[in-house]
Amino acid sequence: MIFEAFAAGGCRSYLVGCEATRSAALIDPELTLIDHYVGATAKHGLHVRYVVDTHTHADHFSASRELGRIMSAPVVMHRLSPAPYPDLRLDDGDMLAVGQLRLKALHTPGHTRDSLCLVVDDRVFTGDTLLIGGTGRTDLPSGNPEALFESLFGKLLKLPHAMLVFPAHDYKGRASSTIGAEIAGNPRLQKTDRAAFVEMMETLDLAAPTHLTEALRTNMSGGKSVAQLLAEAGARVAFMSLAELRERIGGDGRDLVVLDIREPDAFSAGHIPGAHHLPRGQLELRVNTELPDPTVRIVTCCEFGKISTLAAATLRELGFQRVAALDGGVSAWREAGFPLES
Ligand SMILES: [Fe+2]
């Protein structure tokens, strides 16, 4: 088996490939690592046949949909996944054939209703059902402590003790464990009585994960995160550095429109000398009158250099071919000690 593990913060994802056929599957890919997966797949000479999410993640952004598209591979989730985009929905006991490897799905609800574990040869990818020294929480949408108890004690922990455990999270940098080691040492698994286990899970009082709302929104709908939207816009536009702009406005500057897209208050408080003001909210409304020449060179700017990227992408789409976004915003310009006009 070809095997590679990836970590992004506490999130862990995996590439498993068949040595003989070079077919592979990606498990729980995370959005910021897309280029890593593409690179690792190429390095091993693998063709990804399936992109699997073990459950609807509430705490990080799944890259499944994006990778499914890039790699022309079906996105796989459990039958009960609320996401509209899985191409293949699995039931308990279903198997995926990845060359000569067999990935067997165990439905293990509890952390979420749609949680799966995947058994492949000597290892099990446990998602958030079983973590090293812990379990997934059960207080997030569709979580259920009684179901988790059943999934663990009635199913997962009945796997051979030697089986390797690869969870979807580990915050202490540990790579793997075994079923036997978890049964022996995992504090949560010491509560072998159902009522005691449920009571423990119900009184954990955990803080809500960061990005909960945005992660659930994007993972359940297949929509984009704000960071993704900005990155996509950033990939379609050119940028101009603060120093380059500083030099250019020092010259005659007539061939460059500095387009400040902030709100009126921010603009009047201080803007780059000679900047033209067109708030983002009015860009499409006023573009035809304010920017009649589509061949003019434009650099968009905003406070922090993010929304200006979206504005530049919009202007490019509208046919302004010489638009760049300022790399950094007026706040960075101010910090650099460059001149402002008010
Ligand atoms: Fe999770």
* pLDDT reading at 252 higher than 80: no
The answer to whether residue 98 sits within a structural domain is yes
**How many structural domains are present in the chain?**
2
Tell how far the Cα of 60 is from the centroid of ligand 1, in angstroms.
8
DSSP E strand stretches across the chain: 2-8, 11-17, 23-27, 47-52, 75-78, 88-90, 95-98, 101-107, 116-120, 123-127, 130-131, 134-135, 164-167, 177-178, 238-240, 256-260, 276-277, 297-301, 323-326
The answer to whether residue 163 sits within a structural domain is yes
In 10 A of CB 202, how many CB atoms? 11
- Domain range for 267 is 228-335
For residue range 124-153, what is the model confidence (pLDDT) as tens digits? Answer: 999 999 999 999 999 999 999 999 999 999
Tell how far the Cα of 89 is from the centroid of ligand 1, in angstroms.
18
pLDDT at 6: 98
Q: Are residues 162 and 213 in the same domain?
A: yes
What b/e string do you get for 245-258 counting C-beta neighbours within 10 Å, with b at 16 or more?
A: beebbeeeeeebbb
More confident residue, 251 or 188: 188
Tell how far the Cα of 111 is from the centroid of ligand 1, in angstroms.
7
- Quickly list DSSP for 126-159: EETTEETTEE--S-STT--HHHHHHHHHTTGGGS
Say what percent of the chain tops pLDDT 70: 99
pLDDT at 253: 54
Q: Are residues 42 and 151 in the same domain?
A: yes
Tell how far the Cα of 315 is from the centroid of ligand 1, in angstroms.
39
63: CATH:
3.60.15.10
Tokens of 281: 């909210």
| Domain end call among 206, 223, 240 | 223
Tell how far the Cα of 57 is from the centroid of ligand 1, in angstroms.
4
For residue range 54-113, what is the model confidence (pLDDT) as tens digits? Answer: 999 998 899 999 999 999 999 999 999 999 999 999 999 999 999 999 999 999 999 999
Tell how far the Cα of 143 is from the centroid of ligand 1, in angstroms.
10
Ligand 1 (ion): residues with CB under 5 Å are 57, 128
For residue range 11-30, what is the model confidence (pLDDT) as tens digits? Answer: 999 999 999 999 999 999 99
Tell how far the Cα of 92 is from the centroid of ligand 1, in angstroms.
19
Tell how far the Cα of 204 is from the centroid of ligand 1, in angstroms.
16
Tell how far the Cα of 107 is from the centroid of ligand 1, in angstroms.
14
Q: Are residues 85 and 175 in the same domain?
A: yes
Scan for tokens 């423990």, then name that residue: 200
Backbone phi, then psi, for 62, in 5-degree steps?
Answer: -75, 140
Tell how far the Cα of 184 is from the centroid of ligand 1, in angstroms.
24
